[in-house]
Chains A and B, each alone.
Chain A
Amino acid sequence: DTAVSQTPKYLVTQMGNDKSIKCEQNLGHDTMYWYKQDSKKFLKIMFSYNNKELIINETVPNRFSPKSPDKAHLNLHINSLELGDSAVYFCASSPTGGGEKLFFGSGTQLSVL
């Protein structure tokens, strides 16, 4: 069983469209995250949720809206997609304790044409 699963793995779409990426974790973790990895492999935190509540919201356009229906799910909805949104998006989860590691999903490669 995959610990952190995200779908779809690949997403190709036109500028201006709206799309969603889904993430689910079956590890019982309290905290879930969305990261964006650009073409230079730089990882940037976008959002962090703890028990369905937003605790980190880095400077991202408000076209990006996370939604956490329960603590096992954290979905990412993107409105009015732009060329610069093309990247790999990773979902991750972790227990709350400071020494605990992040568990990553396998990523969603988003290409905006």
Chain B
Amino acid sequence: AQSVTQLGSHVSVSEGALVLLRCNYSSSVPPYLFWYVQYPNQGLQLLLKYTTGATLVKGINGFEAEFKKSETSFHLTKPSAHMSDAAEYFCAVRGGRHTGNQFYFGTGTSLTVIP
């Protein structure tokens, strides 16, 4: 079965500080992992994804995530937070054909950036 756990429903960082949003997954098949961002009153946009290959994945807006199979984690980081990063972030895993290729989302982490 596939599932995603995001630790911390709310994270606050100072502008310029490191952003770390945690995601752990469980999957019975090699996972496809995604991070999405949702700005207020908007739909979700893809930040980055891991399918195969290099375990450090770079995305848009300076974000990156590292797939660690041994830890079943896919944490999202950004070296220096910007005010415009304030948003809701969702980690997701995509299941295989037996699940209809369904996406399983975490409960989200709300990021606040303090000036």
Interface residues of A (CB under 8 A from B): 4, 31, 33, 40-43, 45, 48, 50, 55-56, 90, 94, 96-99, 101-102, 104-107
Q: Chain B, 40-75, contact with A by CB distance < 8 Å: what is the 0/1 string?
A: 011111100101100000000000000000000000
The CA of A40 and the CA of B34, in the complex, are separated in Å by 20
A43: chain B residues at CB < 8 Å are 44, 90, 105, 108
Give the nearest-CB partner of B90 in chain A: A43
Residues of A within 8 A of B42 (CB): 106-107
Among A40, A41, A55, A101, max chain B CB count under 10 A is at A101
Tell whether A41 pairs with B101 under 8 Å between CB atoms, given A98-B32, A107-B43. no
| Chain B interface size range | 20 to 34
Contacts of B49 in A (CB 8 A): 99, 101
B88 neighbours in A (Cβ, 8 Å):
41
- Which residues from B are CB-within-8-Å of A48? 100, 102
- 11 A-B pairs (CB sep. < 8 Å): A40-B107, A42-B107, A56-B99, A56-B102, A98-B51, A98-B94, A98-B96, A98-B101, A101-B46, A102-B44, A107-B41
Given A41-B108, A42-B107, do A104 and B100 touch, yes or no (CB 8 Å)? no
In contact, B44 and A42 (Cβ under 8 angstroms): no
Task: Knowing A41-B88, A90-B43, A107-B43, say if A102 contacts B100 (CB, 8 Å).
Answer: no
Are A96 and B101 in contact (CB-based, < 8 A)? Answer: yes
A104 to B103, CA, bound (A): 12
Instruction: Knowing A99-B49, A99-B51 are in contact, say whether A105-B43 is a contact too (CB < 8 A).
Output: yes
